[in-house]
């Protein structure tokens, strides 16, 4: 008698491997139907609607309260500023009533400075900034506008000056008030990313060393340049000029010259003198390649205040 090999179906193999499953009943005897086990109902999760509502209410209320407070504060300050500027309203050439800041409502230099001084002050000493929109194309070499100007009353800001010099020149720079003086050691600090200065001056014999730092100093407008007076044999005069409130300016790609020319703690006469000196210096540098109107617009503004257009004729005739 030969032994027949029995092959189990996959389902039967799984059931035989599991000890918890009873072996199947012989096909000769009909199996009794088994009732499905009842499934226990899942209790719904109670939501703490009061807590979530309280949290949302508190969070939204706090955020909205802070945002509304800031908006109200800015709106109030703007309202006070416009009220302070109301007495400087003037009529344009066509007799249309205008407000400061509107097109065609440019003020004279004296009135513009007086209007800025009448605006409400903030908690810090704001800087008076001037922006001149010039009719030039700085992409052309013959339409570049770049220079320096020593303001009559300074800028109110203390500049940190670094000087590349050796031996006797280095000692002269220290006596003139330079904050940092060095040569190779200063170059190593700059290459490491240390730039603890606002103005960089170099003697002509140090330009071979300074030229290697062009990729670092150039994008930050700190590269010494003979046209700006920062490459000079007389380091004493260069350091004293930088410390005394000398301002460097350069036309941007859109033809705008921008600079800070004083603090709002200055008197009106001091601010008038600084603005006039700066604008006159820019006008005197009109390039030969510039065509049409050279000075299109002049705007004065404080750090966090409104911008006021200045009548160009009031500066040209001053």
Question: What are the residue boundaries of the structural domains of the chain, listed by start?
Answer: 68-88+97-157+246-318, 158-244
What mean pLDDT do residues 109-121 have? Answer: 89
Strand partners, 180: 162
Percent of the chain with pLDDT over 90: 44
Answer whether residue 168 shows pLDDT above 70: yes
Same fold, 68-88+97-157+246-318 and 158-244: no
Burial of 116 (0-12, 13-18, 19+ CB in 10 A): buried
- Integer CA distances (angstroms), 254 to 13, 133, 134, 143, 145, in order: 83, 8, 9, 12, 12
Give 219-244 pLDDT, tens digit per residue.
888 999 988 889 999 999 999 988 88
| Through-space distance between the first and last CA atoms of the chain, rounded to whole angstroms | 131
Q: How far apart are CA 265 and CA 245, in angstroms?
A: 16
Beta strands in 12-82 (DSSP E): none
CA neighbor of 194 nearest in space, from 171, 220, 165, 170: 220
The predicted structure's pLDDT at residue 159: 86
CA neighbor of 105 nearest in space, from 78, 77, 124, 85: 85
Architecture of the domain whose range is 68-88+97-157+246-318: 2-Layer Sandwich (3.30)
- Integer CA distances (angstroms), 176 to 182, 229, 240, in order: 14, 16, 6
Strand partners, 257: 132
Answer whether residue 169 shows pLDDT above 80: yes
The CATH superfamily assigned to 158-244 is: Ribosomal protein L1/L10, domain II (3.40.50.790)
Answer whether residue 120 shows pLDDT above 60: yes
CA neighbor of 310 nearest in space, from 281, 279, 274, 268: 279
Give 272-317 pLDDT, tens digit per residue.
999 999 999 999 999 988 888 999 999 999 988 888 999 998 888 8
* Residue 179: Cβ within 10 Å count: 18
Contacts of 71 (CB under 8 A, 6+ apart): none
The predicted structure's pLDDT at residue 288: 87
**Which tokens sit at 187?**
């170059």
Residues of 42-80 as b/e, b for ≥16 C-beta within 10 angstroms?
eeeeeeeeeeeeeeeeeeeeeeeeeeeeeeeeeeeeeee
**Which tokens sit at 27?**
């096909």
Contact 180, 196 (CB under 8 A): yes
30 pLDDT band (50/70/90 cuts)? very low
Give 3-26 pLDDT, tens digit per residue.
444 444 444 444 444 444 444 444
The predicted structure's pLDDT at residue 317: 80
Answer whether residue 59 shows pLDDT above 60: no
Q: How far apart are CA 299 and CA 253, in angstroms?
A: 18
Contacts of 125 (CB under 8 A, 6+ apart): 156, 263, 264, 265
Average pLDDT, rounded, for the chain:
77
Give 72-108 pLDDT, tens digit per residue.
666 666 665 666 566 555 443 433 333 444 444 688 9
Contacts of 168 (CB under 8 A, 6+ apart): none
Answer whether residue 50 shows pLDDT above 90: no
Backbone angles phi, psi at 224, to 5 degrees: -60, 140
The predicted structure's pLDDT at residue 301: 93
Beta strands in 107-205 (DSSP E): 127-134, 146-150, 161-164, 180-182, 199-202
């Amino acid at each position: 008698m030969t032994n027949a090999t029995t092959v189990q179906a996959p389902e039967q193999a799984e059931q035989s491997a599991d000890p918890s499953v009873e072996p199947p009943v012989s096909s000769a005897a009909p199996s009794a139907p088994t009732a499905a086990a009842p499934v226990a109902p899942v209790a719904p999760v109670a939501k703490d609607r009061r807590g979530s509502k309280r949290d949302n209410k508190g969070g939204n209320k706090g955020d909205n309260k802070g945002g509304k407070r800031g908006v109200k504060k800015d709106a109030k300050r703007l309202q006070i500023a416009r009220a302070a500027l109301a007495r400087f309203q003037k009529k344009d050439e066509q007799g249309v009533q205008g407000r400061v800041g509107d097109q065609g409502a440019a003020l004279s230099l004296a009135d513009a400075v007086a209007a800025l001084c009448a605006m409400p002050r903030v908690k810090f000493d704001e800087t008076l900034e001037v922006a001149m929109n010039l009719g030039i194309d700085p992409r052309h070499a013959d339409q570049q506008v770049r220079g320096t100007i020593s303001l009559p009353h300074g800028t109110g800001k203390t500049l940190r000056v670094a000087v590349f010099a050796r031996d006797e020149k280095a000692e002269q720079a220290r006596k003139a008030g330079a904050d940092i003086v060095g040569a190779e050691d200063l170059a190593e600090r700059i290459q490491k990313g240390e730039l603890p200065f606002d103005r960089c001056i170099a003697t002509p014999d140090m330009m071979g060393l300074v030229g290697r730092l062009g990729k670092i100093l150039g994008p930050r407008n700190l590269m010494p340049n003979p046209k700006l007076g920062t490459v000079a044999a007389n380091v004493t005069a260069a350091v004293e000029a930088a410390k005394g409130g000398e301002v460097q300016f350069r036309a941007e790609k859109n033809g705008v010259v921008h600079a800070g020319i004083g603090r709002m703690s200055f008197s009106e006469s001091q601010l008038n003198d600084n603005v006039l000196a700066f604008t006159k210096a820019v006008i005197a540098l009109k390039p030969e390649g510039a065509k049409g109107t050279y000075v299109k617009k002049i705007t004065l503004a404080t750090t966090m205040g409104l911008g006021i257009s200045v009548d160009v004729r009031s500066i040209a005739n001053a």
